[in-house]
Amino acid sequence: MSERKKITINTLMEMKQKGEKITMLTCYDFLMATMLDDAGIDMVLVGDSLANVVLGYESTIPVTMEEMLHHCKAVTRGIKNAFVVGDMPFMSYQASTEEALKNAGRFLKESNVSAVKLEGGEEVLETIRKIVDAGIPVMGHLGLTPQSVNVFGGYGLRGSTKEESEKIINDARKIEKAGVFAIVLEKIPSALAKEITESVRVPTIGIGAGSDCDGQVLVSHDMLGLFEQYKPKFVKRYAEISQIMKKCFKDYIGEVKSKEFPAQEHSY
Ligand code: KIV
């Protein structure tokens, strides 16, 4: 069997050129990182969705640099080959380019990720340039950018009007020029994602953006059926892990109460 090679930004670019789809899933801990890496995932995103699916916040707004770094460190300890991206949390890159650079640097120095992701287009161009110029790969994120939920007034589809779709296409071209190595396209019409994918050289990674993107990303806890609170249309559940876990917990509780566990074989 051939040894898997470490994925780099060059590998990702080659995959786009060859038409080979790029796979990405989110991850927040060591154990799942080892499983994703063993399964052969190309990219792992320590997303700020950490806020919702692990830390129990209502949105991604409250999650902090320290919380993100803590989980990035756990994930990188479990990864051998996948390319790991750390998501810059809300207000870690918006106040000034200097602060953005310092925080992006912390992701690489303290948590050993290979790149950072930040949300936005035109308004973050200078920030992207500064971080990339310092030697830190940046992944862009356009369309539904959850850190701006209060400006959008919700988590609805983006890019459905002519004005908005033109802004997203122009933003994609601008952030490519500023130096991003890939762009996440979230919850936009498939036709718009196809147009963007064909008009930029860097890979596009879609989530709710149809099948024509160069790759796909989902929140692991959504696709595993581990996070049950809500399920966007774009999520495919590959299992109902939460149901299995709840059954295990109930069985354990029942067996301890009934004194069926521990049995002789579990005792010394
Ligand atoms: O935080 C996250 O999980 C993300 C993905 C939805 C792309 O940004």
Q: Are residues 113 and 228 in the same domain?
A: yes
Q: Is the pLDDT of residue 13 over 80?
A: yes
Q: Are residues 141 and 226 in the same domain?
A: yes
Ranges assigned E (strand) in the chain: 22-26, 43-46, 83-87, 115-117, 138-143, 182-186, 204-207, 215-218
Q: Are residues 78 and 191 in the same domain?
A: yes
Q: Are residues 162 and 185 in the same domain?
A: yes
With 0.85 as the threshold, say if the pTM is over it.
Answer: yes
Q: Is the pLDDT of residue 256 over 50?
A: yes
Q: Is 217 in the pocket of ligand 1 (CB under 6 A)?
A: yes
Instruction: State the average pLDDT for the chain.
Output: 97
pLDDT for position 163:
97
Q: What's the mean pLDDT in 213-224? A: 98
The rounded Å distance from CA 44 to ligand 1 centre is: 10
What digits encode the pLDDT tens for the residues 148-190?
Answer: 999 999 999 999 999 999 999 999 999 999 999 999 999 999 9
pLDDT for position 1:
47
What are the structure tokens assigned to 255, written together?
Answer: 């067996």
Q: Are residues 129 and 258 in the same domain?
A: no
Q: Are residues 185 and 149 in the same domain?
A: yes
Rounded distance between C-alpha atoms, residue 245 and residue 75, angstroms: 22
Note whether residue 91 is domain-resident.
Answer: yes
Q: Are residues 213 and 246 in the same domain?
A: no
Structurally, the chain folds into a number of domains equal to 2
Q: Are residues 119 and 246 in the same domain?
A: no
Nearest CA to ligand 1 atom 4: 47
Lowest mean pLDDT among 2-6, 39-43, 103-107, 152-156: 2-6
Q: Is the pLDDT of residue 88 over 70?
A: yes
Q: Is the pLDDT of residue 233 over 80?
A: yes
Note whether residue 2 is domain-resident.
Answer: no
CATH number reported for the structural domain that contains residue 122 in this entry: 3.20.20.60
Do the beta carbons of residue 37 and residue 79 sit within 8 Å? yes
Domain span at residue 262 reads 241-268
Q: Are residues 65 and 43 in the same domain?
A: yes
Do the beta carbons of residue 65 and residue 19 sit within 8 Å? no
| Percent of the chain surpassing pLDDT 70 | 99
Q: Are residues 202 and 248 in the same domain?
A: no
Residue 60 Cα: closest atom of ligand 1 = 1
The rounded Å distance from CA 235 to ligand 1 centre is: 12
Which residue pairs, CB below 8 angstroms and at least 24 apart, start in 5-9? 5/81, 6/80, 6/81, 7/42, 7/43, 7/81, 7/82, 7/83, 8/83, 8/114, 9/83, 9/114, 9/115, 9/137, 9/181, 9/182
Nearest CA to ligand 1 atom 8: 47
Q: Are residues 133 and 62 in the same domain?
A: yes
